Amino acid sequence: MISDTPLPRVDWIATQRKWLGSDRSAAFATVLLLAIALPCLLAPVFAPYDPSAQPDIIGLRSIAPSLLHPFGTDQSSRDILSRVIYGGRLSLTVAIVATLVSVTIGTVYGAVAGFLDGVGGTLLQRILDALLSIPRLLLLIAIFAAWNNAPLPVFILALGLTGWYGLARLVRGQVLALKAQDFVQSARALGATRSRILTRHILPNVVSQVVVAATLGIGHVIVLEAGLSYLGIGVHPPDASWGNIIQEGSDQIAAHWWISFFPGIAIVLTVMAFNVIGDALLRALQPRKSVIE
Amino acid sequence: MAAFLARRLAQGLAVVVLVATMVFFLIHTAPGDPFGASMENPGISESIRATWRHAYGLDRPLAEQYLRYMASVARGDLGFSFSQHLPVRDALASALPNTLLLMSIALAAAFAVGIAVAVIQVRQRGKFGDRLLGGVSIFLFSVPDFWLAMLVLTSLAYWVRWFPIGGSVDPGAYDTMGTAARIADRLYHLVLPALTLALLYFPVIARHQRAALLESISSDYITTARAKGVTERSIVTRHALRNALLPVVTILGVVFPALLTGAVFVEKIFGWPGMGLLIVNSIGSRDYPLLTAAVLLASTFVVLGSILSDVLYRWLDPRLHSDL
Amino acid sequence: MSQPLLSVQNLSTFFHTEAGLARAVDGVSFDVNAGETLGIVGESGCGKSVTALSILRLIQQPGRIEAGSRIEFEGKDLVTLDDAAMRDIRGNRISMIFQEPMSALNPVFTVGDQVAEVARVHGKGSRRDAWNRAVEMLTLTGIPSPEERAKQYPHQLSGGMRQRVLIAMALMMTPALIIADEPTTALDVTIQAQILDLLKGLQTKLGTSILMITHDLGVIAETTSRVLVMYGGEIVEEADVQVLFASAHHPYTEGLMHAMPQITDSRERLNVIPGTVPPPTAWPSGCRFRDRCPYAWEKCEKEHPPLYQIDQGHTSRCHLAVEPDRRAHPHVPLVEQVGATL
């Protein structure tokens, strides 16, 4: 029987306790994230008005933040708070799904690229190097300028397909290091198939990298989607996303600043929360590689 | 060193060729057609569109288009831009210097500020100053660039009229100015976009530098320096920093390509006539040649950037070049 | 009786860690006289390096020199001295030589630059003067072609030469006291002998006092005139070097002597003192050595032994001083062979 060698596994319980207990900024960020994400994901429950309703184009147009409309209204009298909440639902969903796609592809590609010896491995590495050289934003602009009215699932897929390269390189490096270690050699000597070695012995060690990459990745995609939507090649109206609400308010920003301001704040707070959490995870799981704080 | 450089350049070339291939196929197989019926001018008949397609070679088989493309890129001919009505090379050549100017100044500022912030954070480690700067860094790191640019523009050019609204020169008066006034005018227009970019980029640099400094400062040679009577300030700014600058050089590899593409949104909002604005303006007209060339150029910069940082690292670390 | 050069009184250095309070140095007192070499010997974990670092106040968080400690040197108390005055003393009146010459030198500066820096920091003359003196010191420590070597980087020098560089660094301002923390541990045996000779020669020539910290009794025998044995953060025995080797009192010192392999021996296994050093967060009650001591009895668990006076200049922290007959009845062997027990 192939030995299930005790690997240097991550002690999740202790990690959680240490992280949430002693690191106040991570705990605070988690609370903040939940405070933003929950209302957004449960938009129909939390939004005070219908985001596309235009109740009174004359009387309620472009009013500054007030009690009835905490984030103000736009020139079509739509309530900005509701738009931001629904927009959040879309932006967060896009970011999470795209990141899941990236993380899956990246992990598999990196693991296979690291595991294969010889020509196969080298070829995969060269392709990865080439992919890493292409700036993500530019590539997405080029694709969606060419493909103007791409449906939303395609947009999400494209975001996912352009975001896995960095993780693939990390995973590949990790796999290469693990491959050389004794427990893998002995599993091989005992006749384990390559796929078994990959799934049972190598992948579990890679989990921590993946979790950190996913958390930080969601933040990146939120900003990326916002930028693309702002340029008009991301999420299209009438669907609201944080990016295109900002775009709608951009030509009136001097007079009616609230339209562009609040979705921007929402982005900043959400992405900050993801970054703080991601870095706290990085510190908890691999203390020597910490970058912030 | 020469052999190392030659090898890296050859590898880089292979990567660029691979990138060109990938980008070509990606853009040309995406649905959509620059002369499709959804363009603004429905009055143009199909036969005219067909003529255009033929003139641009878009009705040839894909493989043939690819080979012609690679051959012309090798010659330096990047095609003709639909949106600028100029050869792509000329359009890029006039926009590129503006972007390089803006980004070099912004990055120089970002490096200076970033390293300074990191040094302050390390000297104040654990105390309020460290946390405050750390918080500011995370904030700026999380902010979307176009939004920050909008805020900066609105507050400093609209609400208080300290700076111009956009462009790189004063459109009316520039032509009549003398040289000194022209330079001053350019600098004046440079301030806001460069400031925005510096704010966006210094946190990354500060983060890396801080980590490198913290690692350096717990080394044995730092204890030796203290035992010699060196002041804490000199410990950080001389002994630890010199060692910690090495890892930051590797950031140059990441930052170099940003010289080209890092200012896309900022250029749009401040109307700065560089690569970013060019790219954004070409979106509406589905300007394949321009977009393809832009991506290719940017990738080349990425490759050059990583070669540059490898070479610099070898040059700066005395441990690595004593194979003499 | 002239004043001692350095007088350490009741020094305690504790580390306030999450795992608990580590009492690395716990109430240590000793004097160093002008022109003498005092040795401190003990296993790792006994507190000797922390003592050395404490004298120069090089202890970093979470470590702290506790209140009640006093270190007198040239009329000042080093524990309460302000930072600027302390920096004035470091490298100037008291210098330190470290154990790992490779990691103790900064890899990105030349060797000459690092040695000369001592003079620049203490404000003596110009850069040129500092450099010249650095070359002088490198010559003094026996480095061949010192002018060229000074322009080289640490990784270009051998281990022995790097240690000579550290010694040169320590000598730059002709300090009154040099603290040498395991200066030869990381070196080959032949180089070790050269370095020790160098230190002895320098002491005779310059009259510097040396505090020699080591775990190696051979080094103690070679270089010191008086010895302190440390265990469990405390001094457990103090004596002149000949007295120590001839008639050690404390069972720990005895064990160290027996554990030392002799070249004339024809044994196949090494001797070790059974058991291990307890962690500094949990020193045993009473005598800290009792769990490993062959003679321990009830008194050792209940009463923490003070430093008993055995003879003129010879003290020992052991209750055998008052009940010497117990020495005849060891209940376990003093040392055992490696691998004998588990």
Secondary structure of B62-94 in the HEC alphabet? HHHHHHHHHHHHHHCCCCECCCCCCEHHHHHHH
Residue B103 exposure: Cα atoms within 13 Å on the Cβ side: 23
Instruction: Give the neighbor-by-neighbor strand order of the sheet with C177-181.
Output: C94-97, C177-181, C209-214, C37-41, C226-231, C234-240, C314-316, C308-311
Q: Which residues of A touch B138 (CB under 8 A)?
A: 272, 275-276, 292
Please, are residues B243 and B217 in contact by the beta-carbon 8 Å criterion? Answer: no
pLDDT at A15: 55
pLDDT > 90 fraction of chain C, expressed in percent and rounded: 31
- Side chain identity, residue B253: G
Question: pLDDT-based confidence at B279, cuts 50/70/90?
Answer: confident
CA dist C317 and A217 (Å) reads: 62
Averaged pLDDT, A65-93: 87
CB proximity list for C25: less than 8 A, separation 6 or greater: C11, C12, C13, C47, C50, C51, C54, C233
> Is it the case that residue C160 has pLDDT exceeding 50?
yes
Facing residue for B220 by CB, picked from C87, C95, C100: C100
Contacts of B96 (CB under 8 A, 6+ apart): B260, B274, B275
In the structure encoding, which two tokens stand for residue C153, read together?
């980087």
Is the predicted pLDDT of residue C1 greater than 60, yes or no? no
Question: In this predicted model, which residue has the larger pLDDT, B80 or C129?
Answer: C129
Residue scoring higher pLDDT (B324 or C19): C19
- Asked if the C-beta of C81 comes within 8 angstroms of chain B's C-beta atoms, the answer is no
Closest CB from B223, B228, B318 relative to C121: B228
Q: Is pLDDT at B26 greater than 90 in this prediction?
A: no
CA–CA dist B103, A206 (Å, integer):
37
Q: Are the C-beta atoms of C236 and C316 separated by less than 8 Å?
A: yes
Amino acid at residue number C53: L
Give chain C's radius of gyration (CA, Å): 21
Chain position carrying tokens 């299930």: A4
Amino acid at B161: R
The residues, any chain, with a CB within 8 Å of residue C311's CB and separated by 6 or more, are C243
Give A208's pLDDT tier (boundaries 50, 70, 90).
Answer: confident
The shortest CB-CB distance from B298 to any of A138, A145, A219 is to: A138
- Residue scoring higher pLDDT (C52 or A116): C52
- Using the Cβ of B315 and the Cβ atoms of chain C, whether some distance falls under 8 Å is answered with no
Residue B4 confidence (pLDDT) above 70: yes
pLDDT at A2 over 60: no
Q: Rounded to the nearest 5°, which phi and psi values hold at A102?
A: -60, -45
The neighbour count for residue B173, using CB atoms within 10 Å, is 11
Q: Which of A155, A158, A205 is nearest to A184 (CA)?
A: A205
Banded model confidence at residue B318, pLDDT cuts 50, 70, 90: low
Compare CB distances from A145 to B142, B264, B291 and report the shortest one's residue: B291
Q: Which of A138, A222, A260 to mutate to test the interface with B (most CBs of B within 10 A)?
A: A138
Asked whether the beta carbons of residue B16 and residue A133 sit closer than 8 angstroms, the reply is yes
- Per DSSP, B124 falls in state T
Tell me which H or E stretch contains C297: none
Chain segment C182-196, per-residue pLDDT in tens: 888 878 888 888 888
How confident is the model over C168-191, as a mean pLDDT?
87
Write the burial class of residue C261 (CB in 10 Å: 0-12 exposed, 13-18 middle, 19+ buried): exposed
Question: Which residue(s) pair with C28 in the sheet?
Answer: C11
Residue B42 banded pLDDT, cuts 50, 70, 90: low
CA distance B272 to B302: 23
CA separation for the pair A215, A275 (Å, rounded): 7
Asked whether the predicted pLDDT for residue A104 surpasses 60, the reply is: yes
pLDDT tier at C270 (50, 70, 90 boundaries)?
confident
Extract the tokens encoding C3. Answer: 């004043």
Residue A4 reports pLDDT greater than 70: no
Can you give the pTM of this predicted structure?
A: 0.76
Chain C, window 132-161: residues with a beta carbon less than 8 angstroms from a chain B beta carbon = 153, 155-156
Of residues B139 and B308, more confidently modeled:
B139
CB contact under 8 A, B227 and C153: no
Which residues on chain C are in Cβ contact (under 8 Å) with B219? 103
Share the mean pLDDT of chain C. 87
Tokens coding A34: 């939940």
Output the pLDDT for position A292.
30
Q: Are B273 and B171 in contact, with CB atoms under 8 Å apart? A: no
Whether pLDDT at C237 is above 90: yes
Are residues B117 and B227 in contact, defined by beta-carbon separation less than 8 angstroms?
no
d(CA B319, nearest CA chain A) in Å: 23
Beta C177-181 vs C94-97: how paired, if at all?
parallel
List chains touching A (3+ CB pairs under 8 A): B
- B248 CB near a chain C CB, below 8 Å? no
Q: Are A184 and A201 in contact (CB under 8 A)?
A: yes
Instruction: Kindly list the residues from chain A whose CB atom is less than 8 angstroms away from the CB atom of residue B264.
Output: 137-138, 141
- Pairwise CA distance, residues A265 & A21, whole Å: 28
Compute CA distances B242 → B125, B247, B248, B313, C107, whole Å: 19, 10, 11, 13, 10
From B220, B230, B322, residue closest to C155, measured CB to CB:
B322
Q: How far apart are CA B147 and CA B217, in angstroms?
A: 37
pLDDT at B161 over 70: yes
Residue C250 pLDDT more than 60? yes
Max mean pLDDT among B117-121, B165-169, B178-182 falls in B117-121
**For residue A238, is the peptide bond before it cis, meaning its omega torsion is within 30 degrees of 0?**
yes
Residue B142 and residue A135: Cβ atoms within 8 Å?
no
Q: Which two tokens stand for residue A84?
A: 């931001």
Determine contact: C242 vs chain B, CB below 8 A.
no
Check pLDDT > 90 for residue C71: yes
**Calpha distance A288→A25 (Å, rounded):** 19
Q: Do A137 and B261 lie within an 8 Å CB cutoff?
A: yes
- Average the pLDDT over each of A280-284, B131-135, C200-204, C288-292 and give the range with the smallest value: A280-284
Distance from CA of A218 to the nearest CA of B (A): 12
Closest Cα in chain C to B231: C87
Q: Which residue of C has its CA nearest to B220?
A: C104
Q: What is the mean pLDDT of residues A109-127?
A: 84
Indicate the length of chain C as a whole number.
Answer: 342
The whole-angstrom separation of Cα C316 and Cα B21 is: 82
Cβ within 8 Å, pair A134-B31 = no
For residue A20, pLDDT beyond 60: no
CB contact under 8 A, B264 and A137: yes
The H or E element that residue A239 is part of is none
DSSP state of C327: G
Of B15, B268, B288, the CB nearest to A146: B288
Q: Do C87 and B219 touch (CB under 8 A)?
A: no
Residue C307 has a CB neighbour count (10 Å cut-off) of 16
Residue B249 — pLDDT band, cuts 50, 70, 90? confident
CB of A160 closer than 8 Å to CB of A197: no
pLDDT at A242: 93
Q: Is the ipTM of this complex over 0.90?
A: no
- β-strand C234-240 against C70-73: which pairing, if any? unpaired
* Count of C-beta atoms within a 10 Å radius of residue A225: 28
Q: What's the rounded Cα separation, in Å, for the pair C22 and C5?
A: 29
Measured between CA atoms, how close is A197 to chain B, in angstroms? 32
Let me know: does C95 contact C173? Beta carbons within 8 Å.
yes
Confirm or reject contact between B243 and chain C (CB < 8 A). Answer: yes
pLDDT at A11 over 60: no
- Determine the pLDDT at residue A7: 39
CB–CB contact B220 C98 (8 Å): yes
Among candidates B247, B248, B277, B281, which has minimal Cα distance to B260?
B277
Query: Looking at residues C48-71, what average pLDDT do you find?
Result: 89
Amino acid at A162: T
User: Does the beta carbon of B302 lie under 8 angstroms from any beta carbon of chain A?
Assistant: yes
Backbone conformation region of residue C123, classed left if phi is above 0, alpha if psi is from -120 to 50, else beta: left
Q: Quick check: C43 pLDDT over 60?
A: yes
Mean pLDDT of B186-201: 90
Phi/psi for C57 (5° steps) reads 55, 50
Q: Which of the residue ranges A29-33, A34-38, B257-261, C198-202 would you say has the lowest mean pLDDT?
A: B257-261
pLDDT value at residue A288: 44
What is the rounded distance in angstroms from the CA atom of residue B171 to the CA atom of residue B280? 21
Average pLDDT, chain A: 81
Q: Which residue of B has its CA nearest to A220?
A: B142
One-letter amino acid for residue A21 of the chain: G
Contact C229, C253 (CB under 8 A): yes
- CA distance, residue A40 to nearest chain B CA (Å): 19
How confident is the model at residue A16, as a pLDDT?
Answer: 58
Give the least confident one: A78-82, A118-122, C166-170, C209-213: A118-122
Which carries the bigger pLDDT value, residue B259 or residue A101? A101
CB B112 within 8 A of CB A212: no
Looking at per-residue pLDDT, the higher value among A55 and A112 belongs to A112
pLDDT at residue B37 is higher than 50:
no
Predicted local confidence at residue B319, as pLDDT: 67
- Are the CB atoms for C116 and C131 separated by under 8 Å? yes
Q: Is B322 within 8 Å of C90 when comparing Cβ atoms?
A: no
DSSP C37: E
Integer Cα distance of A10 and A12 in angstroms: 6
pLDDT tens by residue, C7-42: 999 999 999 887 788 888 999 999 999 889 999 998
B178 touches chain C (CB under 8 A): no
* Residue owning tokens 């940017």: B298
With cut-offs at 50, 70 and 90, classify the pLDDT of residue B321. low
DSSP state, residue B108? H
Q: Which of B192, B202, B197 is nearest to B136 (CA)?
A: B202
Is the four-CA dihedral A94, A96, A101, A105 of positive or negative sign? positive
Mean pLDDT of B246-270: 79
Q: Does B319 touch chain C (CB under 8 A)?
A: yes
> Distance between alpha carbon B156 and the CA centroid of its chain, in Å?
24
- Quick check: B142 and A137 CB within 8 A? no
pLDDT by residue (tens digit) across B105-153? 998 899 899 999 998 998 888 788 888 898 899 999 999 999 999 999 9
* CA of C79 vs chain B CAs: smallest distance (Å): 15
Looking at residue B162, what DSSP letter applies? S
Dump pLDDT digits (tens) for C89-144.
998 899 999 888 888 888 888 999 999 999 988 876 788 989 999 999 999 888 89
pLDDT, tens digit, 9 for 90 and up, residues A145-202: 877 778 889 999 999 999 999 899 888 888 887 777 766 667 667 766 666 666 666 6
Residue A10, phi then psi, degrees to nearest 5: -75, 135
| Low-confidence winner among A1-10, B41-50, B224-233, C124-133 (lowest mean pLDDT) | A1-10
Chains that touch B (3 or more CB pairs under 8 A): A, C
